[in-house]
């Protein structure tokens, strides 16, 4: 895995991910060519870098680790490890307060020292992931605890397209309200 450098971003030819927090959308690019796009759900608390904020961090990141490739769709994760459970309505009813991390995890690491890397703003130490979410959770609206949630089908596709080392740009454009 090669860590991308800020001066090389976005890559002219390689795959990279754009997460537009304002539009609640993830776009997969190959250089300047848009490949696919999916709705996401980012933090209910908005955007921000601070540890403990429950916010989605902005800036350039990269996929540090891809976790769960050998797990079934709906696999439940805690602490980045599969629990052996598969998500179901019955399991959800038994654990009503659980923040569900399902199917796969793409763990992000910040590339911008002092902004999303290091100290109290470190995205990796904040455990910021792209991960699956239950089918009854809304997409296209902020509802997460800081991570980027996707539907299983979208997450499986992104997991296949974005191996460790893939650059990820999280941004929020000003609202036109």
The β-bridge relationship of strands 148-150 and 129-132 is parallel
Question: In the numeric block, which tokens belong to residue 37?
Answer: 């796009």
Spell out the domain ranges in the chain: 40-165
Q: Give pTM, 2 decimals.
A: 0.95
Q: Are 24 and 139 in contact (CB under 8 A)?
A: yes
φ, ψ of residue 155 in degrees (nearest 5): -60, -40
Distances in Å between the Cα of 173 and the Cα atoms of 60, 116, 143 are 15, 18, 18
Cβ atoms of 26 and 154 closer than 8 Å: yes
120 Cβ contact partners less than 8 Å away, ≥ 6 residues apart: 50, 51
Coil, strand or helix: which one is 167? strand
Name, in order, each residue with C-beta under 8 angstroms of 110's C-beta and a sequence gap of 6 or more.
Answer: 57, 59, 60, 61, 116, 117, 118, 121, 122, 123, 124
- Assigned CATH for 40-165: 2.40.440
Q: What does DSSP say about strands 81-86 and 75-78: parallel, antiparallel, or unpaired?
A: antiparallel
Output the tens digit of pLDDT for each of the chain's 177 residues: 778 988 888 999 999 999 999 999 999 999 999 999 999 999 999 999 999 999 999 999 999 999 999 999 999 999 999 999 999 999 999 999 899 999 999 999 999 999 999 999 999 999 999 999 999 999 999 999 999 999 999 999 999 999 999 999 999 976 544
Cα–Cα–Cα angle for 6, 60, 158, rounded to 5 degrees: 120
What pLDDT is attached to residue 177?
Answer: 43
Which of 129, 154, 170, 147 minimizes the C-alpha distance to 41?
147
Among 150, 136, 145, 174, residue whose Cα is nearest residue 46: 145
């Amino acid at each position: 895995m090669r860590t991308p450098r800020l001066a090389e971003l976005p890559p002219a030819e390689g795959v990279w991910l754009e997460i537009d927090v304002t539009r609640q959308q993830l776009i997969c690019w190959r250089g300047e060519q848009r490949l696919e796009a999916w709705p996401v759900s980012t933090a209910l608390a908005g955007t921000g870098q601070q540890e403990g904020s429950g916010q989605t961090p902005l800036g350039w990141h990269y996929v540090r680790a891809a976790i769960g490739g050998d797990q079934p769709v709906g696999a439940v994760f805690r602490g980045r490890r599969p629990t052996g459970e598969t998500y179901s309505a019955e399991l959800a009813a038994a654990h009503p307060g659980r923040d569900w991390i399902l199917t796969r995890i793409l763990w992000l690491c910040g590339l911008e020292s002092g902004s999303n890397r290091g100290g109290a703003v470190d995205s990796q130490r904040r455990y910021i992931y792209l991960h699956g979410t239950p089918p009854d959770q809304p997409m296209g609206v902020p509802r997460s605890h800081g991570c980027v949630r996707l539907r299983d089908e979208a997450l499986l596709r992104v997991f296949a397209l974005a191996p460790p080392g893939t650059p990820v740009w999280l941004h929020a454009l000003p609202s036109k309200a």
